[in-house]
Amino acid sequence: MASPIPAQELQALAQNLVDAESPNPPGDVRLPLEVAAKYFEDHEIPYARVSIDKEGKKVNLVARIIGAHPGPHLVLNAHLDVFPDSADQEKSTHESTSAADKNNYVVGRGAVDMKSGAAAFMVVMRLLNEQAHLLHGQISLCLVCDEETFGPYGSIALLKLFPELKGDALLSTEPSSLAVVRRGERGFMWGTVTIQGSGGHGAYPSGGQSPIEKAAAFIKALRAEIPENWQLEDSAEKGEQSLSHDLLAPKGQSFVDFRSLNFGVISGGLKVNMQPDNCQIELDIRLPLGQSVKEAHAIVDRVAAQFDAHFEVDNCGEPNASDPDAEIFQIIQSKVEQVTGTKPELAIGLGCTDARLWRYLDVPAAVYGPDPSTMARGDEMISVDDLTKIATVHLETARTFLKVNN
């Protein structure tokens, strides 16, 4: 299938977005947002900036094309914030990027997650704007902030301010791989465990375990409750499990049917010769379909009580999945097959995306984007060929959903 996507334009736009830094934290997306705004202005596509951030740094952009004929509302979603770089990652990206990579790839933080996907949607919007007289319905693009921390300033704010943006179907270019369309994802629970102590001089006996020692014991006890190879009795579809095993997880390990547990941050104490008076552990639990945040919360509370610890949930979201028989999935699967030559599988994703917010509103949400293997690494990159295929799939899916050829 010949692609109508201009590859050079797409690559340049994606690289410009990547080069416009927007790590989260702190979450300031004004640089890439201005790249997007200029693109829409140059192509006379109406858009609006939307922000509830008092400092005006966490900003969203919504572009909309209204067709000449009545029909459904298709929503596209991509985020402009990215994971922060470490010094080592910046160095490895710079040193590993050859001239060939620069010619044939989009390279840098956000190339996979997910500024290249945002660029794909922007080019799709330009091409559809040229066919607005043929569109049955409307299409909206939400370029959002605050996704990497699942905060309140991005898609959550847009859906509260403009309920019509829930639309009738959602497309996302979050990472998936060219052979997979994600129709759902695991839930998550982020929280902080706090253990208090009395403090004191480190040279004098304390009469008991310090908060840091209790934290170590707590970590071991919670890991026993949620081991890395723990499997649910009522697991998700086995086909989706094996698919994710091959395509969606690092080193081929699938957690789609498993709870997973990560201890992301631990902090405590003031000085080497002082007894600590507190210790905090920030943890991340991911939940497969059929499990709930409430159940995970109860597990952590039970273990925390053994160590006189307090647990507080900082953010959470339930597991979610769209009906695989929804029209948008039938369309996008057929378009992927036309573009790549292989019919993609429908799968449940390992990580969380803003697509979950639309699924919570019973709106079918399909995720189709880059291979996630370099996501958040120092050599994050996507080939121009893959990106062009992704953009083509979404363009043809939108054209069919909005009945451009009818």
Residues 169 and 220 placed together within one structural domain of the fold: no
**161 and 197 housed in the same domain:** no
Does the residue 1 lie in any domain?
A: no
**Shared domain check, 209 and 173:** no
**Chosen domain end from 289, 315, 341:** 315
Query: pLDDT of 143-170, one tens digit each?
Result: 999 999 999 999 999 999 999 999 999 9
Of 191, 199, 195, the C-alpha closest to 215 is 195
Q: Which of 276, 294, 315 is the last residue of a domain?
A: 315
Same domain, 327 and 355: yes
Determine, yes or no, domain membership for 229.
Answer: yes
pLDDT of residue 97: 54
The confidence score (pLDDT) of residue 178 equals 96
27 and 99, same domain (yes or no): yes
Q: Which two tokens stand for residue 212?
A: 């840091």
Domain assignment present for 248: yes
Together in a domain, 323 and 180: yes
Pick the closest to residue 219 from 259, 154, 254, 266 (CA basis).
266
Q: Is the pLDDT of residue 234 over 90?
A: no
Does residue 406 sit within a domain? no
Domain range enclosing 52: 7-185+319-401
* Residue 66, domain CATH: 3.40.630.10
Distance CA 24, CA 117 (A): 18
Residues paired with 23 in a beta bridge = 82
Q: Is residue 147 part of a domain?
A: yes
Claim to verify: residue 26 and residue 153 sit in the same structural domain: yes
Residues 376-404 pLDDT 10s:
888 899 999 999 999 999 999 999 999 99
Report the Cα–Cα distance between both ends of the chain, in Å, rounded.
Answer: 20
Counted domains in the chain: 2
Mean pLDDT, to the nearest integer, of 38-64?
A: 97
Per-residue pLDDT tens digits for 25-44: 999 999 999 999 999 999 99
Residue 352 within a domain: yes
